[in-house]
């Protein structure tokens, strides 16, 4: 059985809980009201800002801004796109020119080597490494085969660059072999093994087709 003292203590605790609950509810309501007011103010400010922006854009100063900044910026982007397109077209045209000049030079070199009987004939055939005897593009006549592939290397992407570099390596092997041939007298009969070696190098270069061209 509860004593009067314990009953008073329980009554005080209940009263405290009730007062605390009322206080928290009052504070919560106050906070919610403040939040609602802030949200309302933000909506009003947002609408006011939007109206001010539209008013500015519709003004003479706003129209000047659109024409001088936005439209000018769009024109700059268009010019960049156009420049990129023109550069790509120019590179593609150069690649086609190099391709046909290289194939033409390899054809002439291979043809002359097949018919070479003396070292002098072989030297004349391999001279196509450094100068085209029958150029398709006159300005490329004095360009070496290696330099043509070097230009292609700078223009093509990715794995095509690796193929162009491999072609340059084969050309260097041909140049080294041609250099050794220069020490031989022109009237000497050219060895069949030498002709086979040069023809294999030419076929190795041909096998490295550059699909980007």
d(CA 5, CA 15): 15
Q: What is the pLDDT of residues 83-135, one digit of tens each?
A: 677 767 787 888 888 888 888 888 888 888 888 899 899 888 888 888 888 88
Q: List C-alpha distances in Å: 187 to 19, 47, 95, 120.
A: 123, 97, 39, 6
Q: What is the pLDDT of residues 168-183, one digit of tens each?
A: 888 888 888 888 888 8
Check: CB of residue 69 under 8 Å from CB of residue 116. Answer: no
Per-residue tokens: 188: 């000497």
pLDDT at position 18, please?
A: 63
Q: Which helix (H) or strand (E) holds 78?
A: helix 72-114
């Amino acid at each position: 059985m509860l004593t009067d003292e314990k009953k008073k203590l329980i009554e005080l605790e209940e009263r405290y809980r009730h007062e605390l609950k009322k206080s928290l509810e009052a504070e919560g309501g106050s906070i919610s009201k403040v939040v609602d007011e802030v949200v309302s103010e933000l909506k009003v400010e947002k609408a006011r800002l939007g109206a001010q922006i539209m008013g500015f854009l519709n003004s003479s100063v706003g129209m000047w801004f659109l024409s001088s900044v936005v439209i000018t910026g769009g024109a700059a982007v268009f010019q960049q796109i156009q420049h990129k397109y023109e550069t790509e077209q120019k590179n593609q045209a150069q690649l086609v020119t190099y391709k046909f000049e290289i194939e033409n030079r390899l054809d002439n070199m291979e043809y002359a080597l097949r018919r070479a009987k003396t070292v002098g004939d072989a030297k004349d055939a391999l001279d196509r490494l450094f100068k085209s005897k029958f150029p398709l593009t006159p300005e490329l006549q004095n360009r070496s085969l290696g330099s043509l592939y070097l230009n292609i290397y700078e223009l093509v992407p990715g794995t095509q660059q690796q193929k162009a570099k491999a072609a340059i390596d084969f050309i260097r092997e041909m140049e080294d072999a041609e250099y050794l041939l220069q020490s031989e007298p022109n009237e000497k009969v050219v060895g069949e093994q030498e002709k086979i070696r040069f023809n294999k190098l030419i076929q190795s270069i041909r096998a490295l087709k550059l699909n980007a061209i």
